[in-house]
Amino acid sequence: MKIEIKENAEIKLENLLSCRKEVYEVEVNKEFANMTAFIKKNKLNQHGGIITTVHNIYDENEKKLLDIEILIPVDIKNSLHKYKNSNQLEKSFNVGDYKFVKSLHLENGLYATHKGNPELLNTAYDILNQYIKENSLKTTTPIYNIYRNKITSSQSIDDLIIDLFIGVQSIK
């Protein structure tokens, strides 16, 4: 697998519905479904790919418990007025069981794109981690997965495109 890594990358994301919680690996899709239902119920419009990051992994009774964050960009115009006056949006506030994050800006990172089956993401992570080690860097953020497309029933899972971002700094 060949992955091109770009240095000094930054990402700016705005108007994010966020869910951070500990869930078992098998329950992650349920959290996606719950967030999607919340978005539809509250007449929000998703405008961009889903972003995920895993802050920690715990082995619990031979199951993986993930401290995961799911971020979904939403169009807030005329949508969140029942939670906050949209003209006076704060940096973040609670929206039901979730949190609304006005902006997330990550700098000084490495950026790469994974094309294909998400089951092969660990290989991409290994390549990023090897690059970090070889270039005397240390991580400042977990890896953010930015899903660039949705797979339809007529497409293969191998058509999935996921951008990867990880914040780093030099240890030299």
* Distance from C-alpha of 112 to C-alpha of 63, rounded to nearest angstrom: 29
- Amino acid (1-letter code) at residue 135: N
Q: Is the pLDDT reported for residue 11 higher than 90?
A: yes
At 149-158, the pLDDT tens digits run 876 666 778 8
**What's the confidence (pLDDT) of residue 152?**
66
- Where do the domains of the chain lie, and which CATH numbers do they carry? 6-170 (3.20.80.10)
**What's the confidence (pLDDT) of residue 43?**
84
Q: Is 82 exposed, middle or buried (0-12, 13-18, 19+ CB in 10 A)?
A: exposed
The four Cα atoms 90, 149, 108, 70 give a dihedral, to 10 degrees, of 50
At 70-124, the pLDDT tens digits run 999 998 665 555 555 544 445 666 777 898 888 899 999 999 999 988 888 999 9
At 24-45, the pLDDT tens digits run 989 998 999 999 998 888 888 8
Mean pLDDT of 138-159: 85
**What's the confidence (pLDDT) of residue 150?**
75
Give the predicted TM-score (pTM) of the model: 0.85
Query: If you search the block for the tokens 């959290």, which residue do you land on?
Result: 31
